[in-house]
Amino acid sequence: MGARARETRDPFEAEGAAARQAMVRLIVAGGGLRDLGWRAAFEDVPRHLFVPYYYEGGLLGAVRLWCEDADPVRREQWLRGAYADGPLATRMKDGELVSSSSQPSLMALMLDELDVRDGQTVLEIGAGTGYNAALLAHRLGDRAVTTVDLDPEITESARRHLAAAGYRPTVVTGDGARGCPGRSPYDRIIATCTLPLIPEDWLAQCAPDARVLAPFATGLISLRVRDSAGGRRAEGHFLHTPAFFVPLRGTPERTGGPARRMTGNDLFSFLLTLAGGSLGADEAMNLWEGEGRPGRERFGLTVDRDRQWAWLDDPEGPYVWPLTGHQGR
């Protein structure tokens, strides 16, 4: 849809444009932004307008970097960090992280995987800074995008950031687990927060053959929603990419920290998290070793009426674990 007229003059426009181009080159070199529409969005949307301040140094002893800092060196540090390929902690409350701007390469991977088409509508769960909603609006148009967050302070700041950058998708303050029925149906639902379960309300708000992409158990699940004899059914595999996300507000925190790709060999811990209390550590280790240390892409989820379960290789196979009842809502 192209770049938008800015609401106010941007003093960092030239430096930001150069930094965006460098960020995009880095993401493309890593295999991201295969869709030219998403590449154009990342090239045009000014991320720095969505993170006028953020925190560095971890949650304990965090240092705030700010666009209006009197020190030019610190202002330069802020702008450079805004376009680094890393997550940014943007909002803390009572010492806990409640909102962040995700790692750009991870956002690019998720948007590529969303597989949108012109004319489709998208519901985003977790407004954050508004940056991801701006990318969606750039690709699909303002009217096609709805973003929901529980915290009115977050939605208000997201609206301001979006308006400053020239984007006006629908921003709703509400419980993301309930979706936004007044704007449904949706062709795509994307969550930017970790879920304990796939909310049933989402499936009811999906258009035929919709797709749901969401963080789950330190991974990313891609579900296809279809009609079945018993109602809506969603099923799909995990992506190979591991990730940490801030949890859906109002649910037990299982994987904290800003949204980022995980590093190291954490597949066994992923299996333990996915299985919840259904498998003990020894049983999970025996299964993992016996099946050749399977990667995330061999695991999946099924949501069918009042049941949800995880599985290895086959949703009807021998290795399945119920989700309802041990992770809560």
The Cα 183–Cα 145 span in angstroms is 9
User: What is the secondary structure of 19-48 as a DSSP string?
Assistant: HHHHHHHHHHHTT---SHHHHHHHHHS-GG
Cα radius of gyration (the chain) = 20
- In 10 A of CB 75, how many CB atoms? 18
**Quick one: which of 188, 16, 14, 199 has its CA closest to 111?**
188
Beta-sheet pairing, 206-216 with 53-56: unpaired
Where are the strands (E) in the chain, listed by range?
A: 53-56, 63-66, 88-93, 96-101, 122-125, 145-149, 170-173, 186-191, 206-216, 219-228, 231-237, 243-244, 260-261, 299-304, 307-312, 320-322
Active-site hit among 99, 101, 105, 222:
99
Strand 186-191, strand 206-216: pairing: parallel
What distance in Å separates the CA atoms of residue 214 and residue 194, rounded to the nearest whole number?
7
Q: Which residue has the tokens 């158990």?
A: 217
Sign of the torsion formed by the C-alpha atoms of 168, 173, 174 and 175: positive
Task: Please calculate the CA angle 317-319-322 and round it to the nearest 5 degrees.
Answer: 105
Q: What is the rounded CA–CA span in Å between residue 28 and residue 242?
A: 19
How far apart, in whole angstroms, are the C-alpha atoms of residue 52 and residue 68? 8
157 is catalytic: no
Q: Which residues are catalytic?
A: 99
